[in-house]
Structure 1
Amino acid sequence: MNRRLFLGAALAAPALLRTASARAATPVDVELVLAVDVSRSVDPEEQEMQFSGYEAAFRDPRLIEGIMGGPLGSIACTMFTWSDWHIQNTVVPWMHLNGPEAANRFADAIANAPRRTWLYTSISGAIDHAAKQFGQGFEGTRKVVDISGDGVNNSGRPLAEARAEALEQGIVLNGLAVLDRTPTPLSLAAALPPLDDYYRNEVIGGPGAFLVVAEGFEAFDAAVRRKIIREIAAVPAPGPQIERFA
């Protein structure tokens, strides 16, 4: 009898754990993953502009108002940096943002995050990693990945495969393409598609997906603020698929 009770309890345990996990998930308007390019083409000054841009965005009263204006009045957000196919580092873990205090804590975490530079540009690796981050204590009405970068996929598996798998999971992929003004050798430039076209055609996808283009890292601050405000909108307003900031 005791053995049967033990076996019954053992069989029931996984279901109970799943139920407890589901109950523990905090409902939010959006689960937002920020994926930041730190490949070799992003020099230390440009990397600092990226981090400062994200930090400033989460201190912006307009963004905080947008967070609090949703049906649930909160979002969940995390940030990781990416480069080679196997290099993705979480720099800010998932946080529940429901007002100025929480948003500023997130901004503080970005300000204190480590700055590192690696080699290659694996957008496919970034998408694969981002897709695995959802469902960690939060349940969002929408799941959004915000990918910022200044180059095309040159490491890891084909980008089309990673993109298709993420879209099948109901994840929206938005892009922030930075048109780096550093001169590119003519032979290399001729072989590469314009980055804004590349991001529009190969990276973004899902309902309401859009692309923000920063004309150089100097425009990153304004671009990232606009992008996140649009992403967290309770009902994303119809807007241009591409927005540009100079």
Structure 2
Amino acid sequence: MALAAALGAVILAKGASACSLALVLALDVSASVDPDEFALQQKGLGAALRSDAVAQAIVAQGGIWLTAYEWSGKRHQYEQFPWTFLDTESAVLEAANAIAGTRRLAEDFPTSLGFALSHGLGLLRDAPEACTRRVIDVSSDGESNDGFSPATAYKEWDMDGITVNALVIEEPRSDIASYYRERVIHGPGAFVEVADGFEDYERAMRRKLLREIGVMAFAQVRR
């Protein structure tokens, strides 16, 4: 009942926009992410997308535009999933399966977050449709250690109306979340979601997607 009520509220609140959200998934595959962790990341993202709560939330919004890419070094940003409009549960399932099965194209490069953000901003600039909200969803387990900083990327690019959120994968005794809160997230409503290691990636990504789609009720119910 709670899920159905939340979906109904989303439908009533959706408004007349043909596109509520353009969402860019930026996935860290730098050298700190080993093969097992990469598999957990991709499978966790796929499972989060295909969960009933996320798929139904996307459909309730009338659909969203989605694209995904992996990133690591300065010139190592590779498409995992092209811009696609997801407006049915079957379309969401296809996207989830495609991303979960993506083969890694880089693995021995540093964490060039400024270049990664610039790539995501370029994707939003070239998005197929002008959506009400434009969001870059950055997943990472470390700080930027190569190339220019996120602050430089934001200074050089037009960030008007663009939100950058972060999913931080923290290991014991690390505090990467503070770095992302202070130096990375940007724009209206920006936030950090924390995963307790890569094993917790699916849960954290599910909550993050629900919040980005705009269905906070789901994020609370499915905590």
The answer to whether the superposition gives a TM-score over 0.5 is: yes
Asked if the contact 2:118–2:153 (Cα under 8 Å) also holds between the matched residues in 1, the reply is yes
User: Hey, what does 1:95 align to over in structure 2?
Assistant: 84
- Between the aligned partners of 2:198 and 2:112, the Cα distance in structure 1 is 20
Answer yes or no: is 1:63 the counterpart of 2:44.
no
Asked if the contact 1:92–1:110 (Cα under 8 Å) also holds between the matched residues in 2, the reply is yes
User: Hey, what does 2:177 align to over in structure 1?
Assistant: 196
Answer yes or no: is 1:123 the counterpart of 2:113.
yes
Once the two structures are superposed, the pairs formed by residues 125-204 of structure 1 within 5 Å of their partners are 125-134=115-124, 135-165=126-156, 168-181=159-172, 194-204=175-185
Taking a change above 3 Å as real, the CA distance of residues 231 and 167 of structure 1, as seen in their structure-2 partners, is: farther
Equivalent residue for 1:85, pick from 74, 84, 87: 74
How far residue 213 of structure 1 moved from its aligned partner, in angstroms, is 0.7
- Between the aligned partners of 2:199 and 2:189, the Cα distance in structure 1 is 27
Answer yes or no: is 1:232 the counterpart of 2:213.
yes
Question: TM-score, normalising length from structure 1?
Answer: 0.76
Taking a change above 3 Å as real, the CA distance of residues 172 and 45 of structure 1, as seen in their structure-2 partners, is: same
Asked if the contact 2:112–2:144 (Cα under 8 Å) also holds between the matched residues in 1, the reply is yes
Paired residue secondary structure (1:41): coil
Asked if the contact 2:59–2:89 (Cα under 8 Å) also holds between the matched residues in 1, the reply is no
1:107-156: CA deviation from partner (whole Å, max 9, x where unpaired): 12112311231310011111000000023312211000000001111111
How far residue 219 of structure 1 moved from its aligned partner, in angstroms, is 0.8
- Between the aligned partners of 2:40 and 2:157, the Cα distance in structure 1 is 28
- Report which of the two structures shows the higher radius of gyration computed on alpha carbons: 1
- Between the aligned partners of 2:156 and 2:89, the Cα distance in structure 1 is 35
Residue segments in structure 2 that go unaligned for 5+ positions in a row:
1-16
- Between the aligned partners of 2:25 and 2:63, the Cα distance in structure 1 is 16
Residue segments in structure 1 that go unaligned for 5+ positions in a row:
1-25, 184-188, 240-244
How far residue 158 of structure 1 moved from its aligned partner, in angstroms, is 2.3
| Identical-pair percentage | 38
RMSD: 2.2
Match of 2:203, as an amino acid? A
User: Hey, what does 1:51 align to over in structure 2?
Assistant: 42
How far residue 83 of structure 1 moved from its aligned partner, in angstroms, is 0.2
- Between the aligned partners of 2:127 and 2:51, the Cα distance in structure 1 is 26
Asked if the contact 1:148–1:176 (Cα under 8 Å) also holds between the matched residues in 2, the reply is yes
1:71-124: CA deviation from partner (whole Å, max 9, x where unpaired): xx1100000000011110011111110011100110121123112313100111
How far residue 166 of structure 1 moved from its aligned partner, in angstroms, is 5.0
Paired residue secondary structure (1:223): helix
How far residue 211 of structure 1 moved from its aligned partner, in angstroms, is 0.4
Taking a change above 3 Å as real, the CA distance of residues 166 and 144 of structure 1, as seen in their structure-2 partners, is: farther
Asked if the contact 1:127–1:166 (Cα under 8 Å) also holds between the matched residues in 2, the reply is no
How far residue 38 of structure 1 moved from its aligned partner, in angstroms, is 0.2
Paired residue secondary structure (2:131): strand
Taking a change above 3 Å as real, the CA distance of residues 164 and 173 of structure 1, as seen in their structure-2 partners, is: farther
